[in-house]
């Protein structure tokens, strides 16, 4: 699975009123592993940044004056993201600017070239409702150091977002993806690839002693709450398959 973490910096907040992209940073993940195959551009927007935006990114008109215009980097950007899944924090903002830039050049929609777009801001709001979910806040929440981030920068933000995304999605699903990635790497090194769908998973059933200990624990819970604990109110699995799934999990 190829994913691209993408971030932009812009001259302002509104692409429809003429604000332009001034920096693009892309970080590549393949099977949830950073590859080091990144893409980064500073872009000459042919206009000044709004004072508020300049205070955020610090990229002056003078600094950007000798950088390539968007038309000069559009093809390389398009080829880099081709068919990849994009991961963006507040995706409508970045996608809106990219669509505007492509439209100015008379090119097909930017989203025609990539796969699904994952918005980490939407995911974060779902995971942490009512809390701050900026990139800085998420770095703090997941213990990711961003001490070197004094100004916003597209490549640095992409690298931080990659770590945040991996932390947000770490779990059983990522374990399976990591196993797939490891199998692919082994195949590339000449090792025979294991087909995960052919594996027979061992199901370990509880012993009589373990079942008795479990019942004793539930009895203690019932006594402590002077009622019936939630573990006794959940319906038992309807079939052997569900039981196996529960034991594996």
Say yes or no: 214 and 115 in one domain. Answer: no
For residue 231, the model assigns a pLDDT of: 66
Give, in order, the Cα–Cα distances in Å from 71 to each of 21, 27, 146: 11, 21, 32
Query: Which of 86-100, 105-119, 156-170, 227-241 is predicted least confidently?
Result: 227-241
Q: Are 45 and 111 contained in the same domain?
A: yes
Catalytic residue numbers, as ranges: 152
Which range of residues forms the domain containing residue 244? 208-248
Examine residue 37 and state whether it is found in any structural domain, yes or no: yes
- Closest to 4 measured CA to CA, from 75, 73, 95, 86: 86
Is 162 part of any domain?
Answer: yes
In this predicted structure, the answer to whether residue 249 has a pLDDT above a threshold of 90 is no
Please tell me whether residues 232 and 162 are part of one structural domain.
Answer: no
Per the model's pLDDT, the better-predicted residue between 36 and 214 turns out to be 36
Do 163 and 213 reside in the same domain of the chain? no
Instruction: Convert the pLDDT of each residue in 30-88 to its tens digit.
Output: 999 999 999 999 999 999 999 999 999 999 999 999 999 999 999 999 999 999 999 99
Residues 73 and 151 in one domain: yes
pLDDT computed for residue 145 by the predictor: 86
Residue 4 phi/psi, 5-degree rounding, is -125, 120
- The answer to whether position 201 is within a domain reads no
Torsion of Cα atoms, 166 then 141 then 143 then 176, to 10°: -20
- Do 213 and 157 belong to one domain? no
- 105 shares its domain with 42: yes
For the chain, give the percent of residues with pLDDT over 90: 61
Asked if residue 139 is part of any domain, the answer here is: yes
| pLDDT at position 247 | 42
Residues 161, 212, single domain; the answer is no
Q: Which tops the pLDDT comparison, 247 or 85?
A: 85
- Tell whether 164 and 239 lie within a shared domain: no
pLDDT in the model for residue 184:
55
Give the 3-state DSSP-derived string for the chain, with helices as H, strands as E and coil as C: CEEEEEEEEECCCCHHHCCCEEEEEEEEEECCEECCCCEEEECCCCCCCCHHHHHHHCCCHHHHCCCCCHHHHHHHHHHHHCCCEEEECCHHHHHHHHHHHHHHCCCCCHHHCCCCEEEHHHHHHHHCCCCCCCHHHHHHHCCCCCCCCCCCCHHHHHHHHHHHHHHHCCCHHHHHHHHHHHHHHHHHCCCCCCCHHHCCCCCCCCCHHHHHHHHHHHHHHHHHHCCCCHHHHCCCCCCHHHHHHHHHC
Q: Which of 168, 197, 228 is the last residue of a domain?
A: 168
Q: Answer with the residue of higher pLDDT: 144 or 182.
A: 144
What integer pLDDT is reported at residue 245 of this predicted model? 46
What CATH number corresponds to the domain at position 43? 3.30.420.10
More confident residue, 216 or 47: 47
Sign of CA dihedral 204, 207, 212, 216: negative
- CA distances to 119, 156, 181, 182 from 31, rounded to whole Å, are 18, 21, 5, 9
In a domain, 126, yes or no: yes
Same domain, 131 and 24: yes
The whole-angstrom separation of Cα 187 and Cα 116 is 27
One domain for residues 143 and 244: no
Contact at 8 Å (CB) between 24 and 8? yes
Asked if 129 and 228 sit in the same domain, the reply is no
88 is a domain residue: yes
Name the domain count of the chain: 2
Distance separating alpha carbons of residues 10 and 156, to the nearest angstrom: 15
Using the predicted structure, report yes or no on whether residue 90 has a pLDDT greater than 80.
yes
Question: Looking at 144, 168, 192, which one is the last position of a domain?
Answer: 168
In a domain, 191, yes or no: no
Q: Which residues pair with 29 in a beta bridge?
A: 3, 34
pLDDT at 209 over 60: yes
Domain boundary among 168, 189, 217: 168
Give domain status of residue 45, yes or no: yes
């Amino acid at each position: 699975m190829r994913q691209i973490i993408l971030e932009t910096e812009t001259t302002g907040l509104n692409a429809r009123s003429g604000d332009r992209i001034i920096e693009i940073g892309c970080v590549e993940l393949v099977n949830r592993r950073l590859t080091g195959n990144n893409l980064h551009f500073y872009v000459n927007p042919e206009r000044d940044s709004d004072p508020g935006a300049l205070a955020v990114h610090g990229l002056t008109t003078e600094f950007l004056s000798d950088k390539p215009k968007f038309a000069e980097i559009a093809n390389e950007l398009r080829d880099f993201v081709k068919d990849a899944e994009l991961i963006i924090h507040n995706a409508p903002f970045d996608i809106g600017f990219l669509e505007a830039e492509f439209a100015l050049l008379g090119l097909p929609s930017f989203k025609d070239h990539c796969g699904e777009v994952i918005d980490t801001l939407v995911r974060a709001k779902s995971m942490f409702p009512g809390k701050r979910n900026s990139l800085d806040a998420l770095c703090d929440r997941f213990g990711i150091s961003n001490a070197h981030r004094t100004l916003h920068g597209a490549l640095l933000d992409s690298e931080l977002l990659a770590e945040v995304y991996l932390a947000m999605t770490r779990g059983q699903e990522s374990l399976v993806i990591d196993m797939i990635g490891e199998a692919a790497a082994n195949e590339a090194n000449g090792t025979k690839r294991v087909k995960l769908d052919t594996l027979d998973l061992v199901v370990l059933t509880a012993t009589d002693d373990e079942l008795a200990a479990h019942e004793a624990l539930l009895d203690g819970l019932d006594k402590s709450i002077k009622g019936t604990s939630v573990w006794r109110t959940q319906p038992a699995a309807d079939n052997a398959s569900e039981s196996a799934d529960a034991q594996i999990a």
